[in-house]
Structure 1
Amino acid sequence: MKLLRYGPKGAERPAVLDSDGNMRDLSGVVADIDGETLAPDSLAKLAALDTGSLPLVEGTPRIGSAIARPGKFLCVGLNYADHARETGKQPPEEPVLFGKAANAISGPNDDVEIPRGSEKTDWEVELGIVIGSRAKYVSEADALDHVAGYALVNDVSERSFQSERGGQWIKGKSHDTFGPVGPWLVTKDEIADVQNIDLWLDVDGERRQTGNTSTMIFGVAHLVHYISQFMTLEPGDIIATGTPPGVGLGMKPPVFLKAGQVVTLGAAGLGEQRQVMVTA
């Protein structure tokens, strides 16, 4: 299934794509696409629905973040060796974890704000894991049993705030709109091999990033297992799994985003995003 949320920001409604790619409203079935809806029993009930009998969503409404109110928005840093090296760092021996604040979450095609005082706003196309059942001290062999599905994420970053202003990375990762998620949550049964998903990102139509999840240092199952040793993962939590090479910071000389530029990105099977850069 491809689950999504549509409508004005703060008033999104749940939906599912039917076999013809049309949006069908789910508000008569579930309240939202959140942790409760993503539990295994709930997903099984949604999968059994006759989507063609659900109300058709007319027009082209705004698409919101694919997940409502995640308890955690976690990220994995430097998870592609080439990306680590382009930023001047060695590939890590264990996953590098950090968080994005929940206010960063936005729709896949919403404008992205360049923060006041920013000179180093950057892009990062990523695969996002969405948790479906509680995961605490899970084994790597059982880790994928706790995954509801996957979503496309742009881990927008302000590099100066991230690395030059002291403290933790979260300052450079959490500005409003710095976490577009979607357009869909794609349930894991639709993904044949999560470690073989093509990723790409363009800036103003010029290809900047091309990658594949096969080159991750730490794969999806290992990440869910690893993170669950430090904190309990709950249904609806999002884990952005790292970005392949090609970020602005790694270019020589570095290149960063300006107001008016357009970023487009996508992942095989997970859809595409489009964001216009605007001044905060």
Structure 2
Amino acid sequence: MKLTTIRTSGGTRAARAEGDGTLVELPYPDVGALLLDPQWPVAAAGRAHEAMFCDRAPLSARPGKVVRVDLGRRSVHVTRPKSFAGPRDAIVLPQESVAATWKAEPAVVIGRLGTIAGFSILNEVTVPWLSLGPALVTPDELPGGLRPRLALHSFVDGRPVQKTDTADLDFVALVHRVSQHVRLEPGDVVAAGHEEVPLLLSAGSVLETEIDEIGFHENVLERVT
């Protein structure tokens, strides 16, 4: 199952991607709310939309914890973002910021009882700006299931800055390790990667990230005036 959150005339709605290129509304304001339902993934379906014309919102309007595991330092860092940006939303840099750290990572989204609900993409551009999405893909939809082998590519202004894959990541062990230190709840996000590299980003810079089977981000940087 591939789940996303879309913006509609009536507000945001969780939606399920269908094989015919449509997104079918679900009776939840976003994917985060769906994950809190004890009955998920069973959900009644509503209106269908052409996926290519839908504006994708952040997966959750009220994000939980984001737990980043630095694989190099073997450290765990917990943040509580006030909000997420959508996969095509602008990201606003503080006026005084010249150099920003940025990292694109595969992300595990937690379901009930600390299980893995699915996988997504996390872009972190100077805390607290995070973009998450464009979809949550359940393990049964991915090659390798709970240990998917997915390629990740990211670019700044069309220049390649990351090329990696998830083949060496054991997400089940990662979530288990994190759960020994942090209480994981539905909607929390666990991401693994190495320390960010400082990049000179400026207003107008375009950050692009793609992970096979999950989707694509394109975020333009804006500066507070």
TM > 0.5 fold call: yes
Q: Quick check: 1:261 aligned with 2:214?
A: no
Matching residue's letter, 1:65:
P
After superposition, where does 1:126-275 map in structure 2 within 5 Å? 126-135=105-114, 146-157=115-126, 173-174=127-128, 178-193=129-144, 194-216=147-169, 219-243=170-194, 248-249=197-198, 255-275=199-219
Q: Is the 8 A contact 1:260 1:277 kept in 2?
A: yes
Work out which of the residue numbers 26, 37, 48 in structure 2 matches 1:56: 48
Counterparts of 2:138 and 2:38, CA distance in 1: 11
Q: Quick check: 1:33 aligned with 2:31?
A: yes
Q: Which digits, 9 at most, give the CA deviation of each residue in 1:167-198, with x for residues without a partner? A: xxxxxx22xxx210001011111122234211
Q: Is the 8 A contact 1:66 1:184 kept in 2?
A: yes
After superposition, where does 1:65-80 map in structure 2 within 5 Å? 65-77=58-70, 79=71
Counterparts of 1:152 and 1:71, CA distance in 2: 16
Counterparts of 1:7 and 1:195, CA distance in 2: 29
Q: Secondary structure of 2:40's match? A: helix
Structure-2 residue corresponding to 1:161 = none
Output the TM-score relative to the length of structure 2: 0.87
Output the TM-score relative to the length of structure 1: 0.71
Q: Is the 8 A contact 1:39 1:148 kept in 2?
A: no
Structure 1 residues 212 and 40, CA gap change in structure 2 (3 angstroms)? farther
Q: Is the 8 A contact 2:68 2:193 kept in 1?
A: yes
Q: Secondary structure of 1:189's match? A: helix
Q: Per-residue deviation at 1:214?
A: 2.1
Q: Secondary structure of 2:137's match? A: strand
Superposed CA RMSD in Å reads: 2.4
Which structure has the greater CA radius of gyration? Answer: 1
Counterparts of 1:258 and 1:101, CA distance in 2: 25
Structure-2 residue corresponding to 1:100 = 79
Q: Secondary structure of 1:108's match? A: coil
Counterparts of 2:54 and 2:163, CA distance in 1: 29
Counterparts of 1:156 and 1:271, CA distance in 2: 19
Structure-1 residue corresponding to 2:12 = 12
Counterparts of 2:167 and 2:84, CA distance in 1: 26
Of all paired residues, the percent bearing the same amino acid is 29
Counterparts of 1:192 and 1:110, CA distance in 2: 29
Matching residue's letter, 1:201:
S
The structure with more strand, counted as a fraction of residues = 2
Q: Is the 8 A contact 2:63 2:82 kept in 1?
A: no
Q: Which digits, 9 at most, give the CA deviation of each residue in 1:8-67, with x for residues without a partner? A: 7x941111111122111113xx44322553667411x24xx6x6xx41225724211123
The structure with more helix, counted as a fraction of residues = 1
Q: Is the 8 A contact 2:69 2:76 kept in 1?
A: yes
Q: Which runs of 5+ in 2 are unaligned?
A: none
Q: Secondary structure of 1:103's match? A: coil
